[in-house]
Amino acid sequence: MSTFFYKCLVPSLKNKIATDIAVDYKREYDENHKIPSETVEGLFKIINIFRNVCAHEERMYNQVVQKTPKNKIVTMIINVPNSQLESGRVFTLLCYLKLVLTKKQHKDLVRKLSILFAKYQRDKFFTVPFEDIQREMGFPVDWKKYF
């Protein structure tokens, strides 16, 4: 819903929201970036898609956003290659969330995912290796280096 609401805003208000997100990001990461309103719209879009998957109890691990937002700006801000962001998978969502979560919240999310992944890597799946599941979620082997 927030995506549609944001699209209806006048450009000056969209720019104000984008500026506020950039200010919060600077406060958290001590990095100064201009975040265009189009990037915020893309951010809301991808978050909304995954939110709907969760709300309707669908499988999230293999969800793919067909038309991912333009990632050039996000790539520069969070230092994740565009090739990793354009997959439109769970890893893409994790990257985009870095723009709106506090540094502590994002690190906590990454830490909890690491613990969960470690648990499932120890458990033996009979049908598929856990690394294949991670790949299906868009996580590169060295995914932690981006955070």
User: In the prediction, which pLDDT does 56 show?
Assistant: 84
User: In the prediction, which pLDDT does 62 show?
Assistant: 81
SS3 108: helix
The C-alpha atoms of residue 4 and residue 101 are separated, in whole angstroms, by 21
The C-alpha atoms of residue 29 and residue 25 are separated, in whole angstroms, by 6
CA geometry: angle at 86 spanning 118 and 44, to 5°? 90
SS3 82: helix
User: In the prediction, which pLDDT does 115 show?
Assistant: 93
The C-alpha atoms of residue 53 and residue 79 are separated, in whole angstroms, by 27
pTM equals 0.87
pLDDT exceeds 60 at position 1: no
Mean pLDDT calculated for residue range 97-122: 93
| pLDDT tens-digit map of 49-106 | 898 888 888 787 788 887 777 778 888 899 898 888 888 899 999 999 999 999 999 9
User: In the prediction, which pLDDT does 109 show?
Assistant: 97
Q: Which two tokens stand for residue 74?
A: 């996000």
Mean pLDDT calculated for residue range 18-28: 95
The residue segments making up the domain with residue 137 are: 2-146
The C-alpha atoms of residue 26 and residue 65 are separated, in whole angstroms, by 28
**Total domain count, the chain:** 1
User: Using the 8-state DSSP alphabet, how is residue 143 labeled?
Assistant: G
Contact indicator for 80, 146 with CB cutoff of 8 Å = yes
Report CA Rg, the chain: 16
